[in-house]
Amino acid sequence: MRAERLFALLFALGLAGITPLRSDVLSPPAFAEPAPDPKSVAKTNDHKLPDFVPDGRPLTFSAENNSASPAASGKARSPAPETSARTIKIKTEPIPDAAGAETSSLKSDGATLPKWPEFVGAKNLFGKVKKPAPLSARAIGYYSRGCLSGAVPLPIDGPAWQEMRLSRNRNWGHPVLIALIERLALDAKKYDGWSGLLMGDIAQPRGGPMVSGHASHQVGLDADVWLTPMPKRRLTRQERETMEPLSMLDSTGLAVNPKTFTSKQVALIKRAASYSEVERIFVHPAIKKALCEAAGTDRKWLGKVRPYYGHIHHFHLRIKCPPGFAGCRSQTPPTGDDGCGKEVDQWLARVIPAKSPPPPRPRVVNVRPPRPPIMLSDLPAECRSLLAAAPDPVSVPSAALMTKVAVRKALAKAAAARAAFAKVEGIPIVPAKAAAAHPALRPHLNKTTAAEKGK
Ligand SMILES: [Zn+2]
């Protein structure tokens, strides 16, 4: 552990007054669904903003009459308005090479292995957006395939929270989610011994895929809540960038550390899961196991708490689609089972830390195309309009409009070029199946990719 990390850990522990987990203090009070906070309800309804214009038609937004209207009414389906669009430099997203360093290692006679193509993914566009679209609040699409209009920010400082990693500009969400976060923070302070919550990523100003970190968080209904207690002072901007969250796990990586994961963390997760708006909560399997053991006889809330990869520093809070907009795709609700039997044990078996580093990769050419990024065409059509909405619209370069078919074609072409290269150089090709099986050749099986599949 680096010295500053150790310092941050000791610092946070000291400030938090952490006590080890005791089973007799695991029944936080007042879990009856509290009445909705009138202030937050007002905030949600107070959205006197123009409605969203569906069908992928371009939007204009006039500050004077506060209304959005199709740039050209009727049938016009012209591309995004170019006049006011900010010209942005789009960085293409190189697809992570399934075989890491192979490109450089396979040089011979000046020839190099053809690279996989680069695409302008939806994340490259939504990652550039600085401001929300001031339209009706709408979670458009699905948690891992969508965007967000009418986002509101979680204030970076509140009576019971502080937002972390401000440089990311990801403190935006659907007003219903933002109101719920504020309520959770206040309740945790009032009932559960928290001085406040440290808040992680919520969503980008217009949602959408992100250039780093998350498969979901796209429609403003997901938020990460740190499990590290909030220090009783205002953190500086710098501290909010660099302060490391505490891991809740012990050195085995398969159980919680009672020094960091205490009755306070249990109470917080239980409280969050008990709100009717909450659809699911994701935690590391070891945390789920600990919650199962700590829950006692009140177990209904456990069904919403789902084990997942990662999530050792924070829990992921997901709310249901707010009523009133059909374009928000909801998730099948959890079964109602507490998930504490076979399920959590199977999850624990999946996350056993590897003891030895993966075997060195053989000298082969992988021709199995990597998974392409989410393209704009993979998102609901409204998401394109959303990029074009004032203020601060983002222009969409034609490269970002590639269809799925075109993407697949480009990848197939590259695969063929790589196969041809391998033949000339006399390097064996890994067939798709073998590539999938070999740990060193598996295409970028990182948390994000896995999360996208499973969540
Ligand atoms: Zn998350």
Helices and strands in the chain: count of H runs, count of E runs: 13, 17
Domains within the chain, CATH numbers bracketed? 133-350 (3.30.1380.10)
Q: pLDDT value at position 436?
A: 54
**How many other C-beta atoms are found inside a 10 Å radius of the C-beta of residue 401?**
14
- Under DSSP, the state recorded for 414 is H
One DSSP character per residue, 253-306 reads SSSB-TTTS-HHHHHHHHHHHHSTTEEEEEE-HHHHHHHHHH-TT--GGGGGEE
Q: pLDDT value at position 380?
A: 95
Percent of the chain with pLDDT over 70: 70
Q: pLDDT value at position 231?
A: 97
Mean pLDDT of 409-430: 90
User: How far is the centre of ligand 1, averaged over its atoms, from the C-alpha of 316 (Å)?
Assistant: 4
User: How far is the centre of ligand 1, averaged over its atoms, from the C-alpha of 104 (Å)?
Assistant: 35
pLDDT band, very low/low/confident/very high, at 29 (cuts 50, 70, 90): very low
pLDDT in tens, 92-110: 554 443 333 344 445 545 5
Name the nearest CA neighbour of 390 among 16, 122, 83, 13.
83
User: How far is the centre of ligand 1, averaged over its atoms, from the C-alpha of 212 (Å)?
Assistant: 12
Mean pLDDT of 286-302: 96
422: left (phi over 0), alpha (psi -120 to 50) or beta: alpha
Q: pLDDT value at position 356?
A: 83
User: How far is the centre of ligand 1, averaged over its atoms, from the C-alpha of 130 (Å)?
Assistant: 21
- 3-class DSSP state for residue 382? helix
Does residue 91 surpass a pLDDT of 50? yes
User: How far is the centre of ligand 1, averaged over its atoms, from the C-alpha of 416 (Å)?
Assistant: 37
User: How far is the centre of ligand 1, averaged over its atoms, from the C-alpha of 217 (Å)?
Assistant: 7
pLDDT band, very low/low/confident/very high, at 440 (cuts 50, 70, 90): low
d(C-alpha 222, C-alpha 144), whole Å: 10
At position 190, the amino acid (one-letter code) is K
User: How far is the centre of ligand 1, averaged over its atoms, from the C-alpha of 410 (Å)?
Assistant: 32
The CA-atom distances, in angstroms, between 20 and each of 86, 257, 261, 407, 413 are 52, 9, 7, 52, 58
pTM here is 0.74
User: How far is the centre of ligand 1, averaged over its atoms, from the C-alpha of 194 (Å)?
Assistant: 21
Q: pLDDT value at position 454?
A: 37
pLDDT band, very low/low/confident/very high, at 389 (cuts 50, 70, 90): very high
Q: Which residue has the higher pLDDT, 32 or 314?
A: 314
Q: pLDDT value at position 200?
A: 97
User: How far is the centre of ligand 1, averaged over its atoms, from the C-alpha of 203 (Å)?
Assistant: 10
User: How far is the centre of ligand 1, averaged over its atoms, from the C-alpha of 199 (Å)?
Assistant: 11
